[in-house]
A and B are shown apart, each in its own frame.
Chain A
Amino acid sequence: MFISIKNVCFSYPNTEKPALDQFSMDIEKGEVISILGRSGSGKSTILRLLAGLEKPTKGSLTIQDEVVFDTRTFLQPEKRGIGMVFQDYALFPHMTVSENILFGLFQMKKAEKKKRLQEVLELVELQEFEKRYPHQLSGGQQQRVAIARAIAPNPHLILLDEPFSNLDAELQVKIRKDLREILKKANITSIFVTHDENDAHALADRIVKLKDGCIDLIGRPCDLLGVHPNLTSPVIPAIEERELVSV
């Protein structure tokens, strides 16, 4: 199994109710997983625990057969080889697009860096924007830079926290299609959290629905369509539905 999460519990300081309670799941390599749930259901917490930005109170986490957390081990975030796209992208404002992308490539040689930069810029179709600063880009372009920066160091896993929440509706539809293509082309295992069921259906191979820190539902998008009253096909554009069937 590529990622194994076993009986993970977590509570934020000064709160009694656990954010995650005995959460377990396995993820295959190359899978695109969507974690769906209302705010406060614990979905972003899973990403932060996998990234190493928070420590579980119990349980274990294994990525690519390496234990990154258990009772005796805690691997620091910078050692985990995980990429993350933050909700507000967290692009370094004092660096240009290319500097942002090159930031995580410090272990590569100069020529390698240059090559990788061009590759990811091409992947996200931003070749002409490499000298721009984040504030000179549109929301959609910023999001693509954030993705490029996260995938540039070739991470084992990419985490996306509400990646579409800052985009308008029209851009959302285009970007989520692009994102799926980018992720599949790069063949990176990815987990993204969202509260929008349409996003989850358009992007994911598997959907995990969370409720109060526990798994409420889990399955392929097509399996879950009839299960939840809100998950109805007419909301999803036809082109994306075809992609889902092929998963």
Chain B
Amino acid sequence: MNRRLTNVNMWTVSAAIIMILLFLPNLTIVTGIFTPANENWAHMKEFVLGSFIKTSLILISATALLTIMIGLSLAWLIAQYQFPLRGFLKWALVLPLSIPPFIGAYTYHGIVNYTGVIQTTLRDRFGIELNPSFFDIMNLPGAVFIYTMFLYPYVYTITRIFLSQQSASLIESARMLGKGPWRTFIQVVIPISRVSIIGGASLVVLEVLNDYGVVKYYGIQTFTTAIFQTWFGLGDIESSIKLAASLMGFVILILMIEKLLRGRRQYSYSTTKVRPLPLIQLKGWKATVVTGYGLFILSLGFFIPIAQLIDWMILTYGKIPMGEFLTYVKNSVTVAGISASVIILFALIVGNFSRLVHGRIVKLLPKLTILGYSIPGAVIAVAVVTAFIALDRFLSPIYQLIGLSTTLVLSVSLIMLISAYIIRFFAIGYNSIESGYDKIGTDFRDASRLLGVGLTKTFFKVDVPMLKGAIVSGFVIVFIDILKEIPLTLILRPFNFDTLSTKAFQYASDEKIMEASQASLLIVGISAFAIVVFYKFLEKEQN
């Protein structure tokens, strides 16, 4: 076989199978558009679809704008200036990412509602009784605040890393040409950072569109909540597929706008010698204001909700049986661990395939499989359920043959949930592995093959040890994302199967927000630890 002029080997076959498995369920959504519409859909199209689009547009545009303002300003201050606590704020400002927005949402509601710490303190300590509607956070502006405070780190991290890699000469030239700090920021910094700002903001937008927890808790009607209601409230899976298809179209439109905004503005250096920005020392009131601003944002996005969660945890300690709690921890870690491991394995195979083949079209195929991340969880849930029910129908003769009385086996098992996680989060793992492959290049692989070692042995002896960093960081990010995941888990979990995040969400939905604190704190603790480790690792790699 080696002597034949062929490209087919076990890597090509495995990669092809993986790519088909990842892409196929999404096709069921596309085909759903063409099935005949029923009464529910006609009603929705006429009366509610317009309002879903309007609400979603307000949510994403307001959140994008605010996250850009906060993320970019913090990134620029950290990249350009030296001020008290800069070293701490540099990595701590990423921490709000460890709090899933739905936990932030119910925590803030708990802080500002009638029995919350703010209103009771005002009443009991100072005798001030304000109109409770003044503190109402469960509305559209409230949701925008929650998303902004917990998602701005996407813009902050990407832009800060980009700015810290900028050549000092660019900024210095602007200063020498008579531009002050403000004008330099507007005329040089923003234009050169455009790609990273839009990259970060589009991640924020995709997260907002995917979110179910915040909008459900705050009672805001969006595509995701409507998919849930149509499916579980009306029992109409066909209309929910049509809604999912509309949302998919909406996401594709946003991705096209993002592409358009990025345009061809891919600036690159005319020299390889890039001198990093020297920090400008801030003194006096300027230093105080900048440090205060950083601490203020960090408090809103991390310290305040964490303090409240700790307070609730102390109040409810012992109310939840430890055995039950340990089961949720075990469930969460098991599904996240298995899914993240499979994703990394698949990403290694597809990534290796991608660098082994030539040709633009073949190289484009892996990119298609990463579409999963831009498709909201609720859409993937619909797609996966449809695909698994079809698979169960197909396999039912075998089930009968082995004596099973039911026709639904796979579609009520954990396999379905894990498959959905793999489709949804493959992109995250793949990006990490792909950049690892890019970094090591092909010379080591070629050197090994020329020393007589075959592709597979080369993969294990040369590629895998050299990809260790990418494998670890890819695993960590996927693991955290799955730990925080809500819509997929709620829809696809088997009967009586709960994770830390579904339990926290259920307690909060049942107005038992204090009981939700233990599970929430554990999610935040694990995520924060992993984020800090990952962030430090990333910094070390860059240096």
Contact = CB atoms under 8 A, between A and B. Distances in A.
Interface string B421-465: 000000000000000000000011011111111100000011001
Contact of A72 (B5, B358, B444): B5
A78 B453 contact: yes
B447 A94 contact: no
A153 B3 contact: no
Contacts of A14: 360
Contacts of A240: none
Number of chain A interface residues as a range: 20 to 34
B452 A90 contact: no
Contacts of B448: 92, 103
A150 B453 CA distance: 13
B443 A90 contact: yes
Interface in B456-485: 461-462, 465-466
Interface in A98-127: 103-104, 106-107
Nearest to B461: A103
Contacts of A84: 446-447, 450
B18 to A, nearest CB: 23
Interface in B120-171: none
Nearest to A81: B452
A150 B466 CA distance: 20
A37 interface: no
A73 interface: yes
B3 A73 contact: yes
A76 interface: yes
B358 A13 contact: yes
- Which residue of A78, A81, A106 has the most chain B CB atoms within 10 A of its CB atom? A78
B4 interface: yes
Interface string B349-364: 0000000001110000
A144 interface: no
B454 A78 contact: yes
A149 interface: yes
Interface in A9-59: 13-14, 51-53, 55
Nearest to A74: B5
A82 interface: yes
Number of chain B interface residues as a range: 20 to 34
A86 interface: yes
Nearest to B443: A90
Contacts of A171: none
A79 interface: yes
Contact of B452 (A51, A86, A94, A104): A104
Nearest to B4: A74
B268 interface: no
A105 to B, nearest CB: 8
B453 A106 contact: yes
A86 B462 CA distance: 16
Given A74-B3, A74-B4, A94-B465, A103 B451 contact: yes
A82 B5 CA distance: 19
Interface of A: 13-14, 51-53, 55, 71-84, 86, 88, 90, 92-94, 103-104, 106-107, 149-150, 153
Q: Which 8 A-B pairs have the closest CB atoms?
A: A104-B451, A90-B443, A90-B447, A77-B449, A74-B5, A94-B465, A78-B449, A84-B450
21 contacts: A13-B360, A72-B5, A73-B4, A74-B3, A76-B449, A77-B450, A78-B451, A78-B452, A78-B453, A79-B452, A83-B451, A84-B446, A86-B443, A90-B443, A90-B444, A92-B448, A93-B466, A94-B465, A103-B461, A106-B453, A107-B452
